[in-house]
Amino acid sequence: MAASSSTAAPWTELPDDLTVNILQRLDIADIVMGAQLVCSTWWRVCKNPAMWRMIELKLDGFEVDNFLNYIVQRSSQLLRLTLKTNYTIMTAEALKKLPQLEELHLITTHRLSPEDFETIGFACPLLKSLTYTNRWVSNDEYSLIRTRSSRCYQDIGFSQQAVAIANTMPNLRHLRLSGYFCLGNKGLEAILDGCTHLQLLHLGECPGFLPSALYKRCYEQIKEFSL
């Protein structure tokens, strides 16, 4: 005798935690555009905040702001976020909705201001790992950086972003900054003073020099320090 057409599909009877474990193995696009549309059970499971504790997004196009807001509004328990984008989106504002975030990795063409870093620090007090890579530098900025490379670490004007990190992210364990991020000596000292739990500090494409005393302090205080 043929099975009734109303018989539930076997996968809908799996425990929610097992279904979450399975669906988390899919790419985010496959979940949002495919899996959650399969059946009402998967739709319900995909709305479970447990599904969205770790996300890696590569956003491209004209709707990136809306898509990012869609994610953060439904993922208040998110622990790790890797965000790659070619557009200047309101990243810091969106992160206000992620108070439990512990890892944030930004690879972007958007140059974050000191106020942006302060917003991130205040919005995510549990943040332990921060990566910021600026993939785009204007010709004027590049010329200025190259011209001042010999005094970059001494120029307080370049250190405001680093000071913002030091003042608002005291729980950082890992910090990676690159993309001609000129933090200045005062900015670097502020990080060493303010982020006392720091175990890893990577400064990539940060032109300039370090005084021998500050260079020595970095190696003594930071377990993994690299330029």
* Cβ atoms 176, 130 nearer than 8 A: yes
Higher-confidence residue: 87 or 80? 80
Q: What's the whole-number mean pLDDT along residues 110-125? A: 87
Considering the entire predicted model, what is its pTM? 0.71
pLDDT tens digit sequence for 158-213: 578 889 999 999 999 999 998 766 677 888 889 999 999 999 999 886 655 566 78
| Coil, helix or strand at residue 154 | helix
Element spanning 116, H or E: helix 114-123
Please enumerate in sequence order all residues whose Cβ is within 8 A of that of 100, keeping only pairs 6 or more positions apart, or say none.
Answer: 76, 77, 78, 79, 124, 126
Per-residue pLDDT tens for 123-166?
999 999 999 988 765 555 545 555 544 454 444 445 788 899 99
Q: What is residue 76's DSSP assignment?
A: T
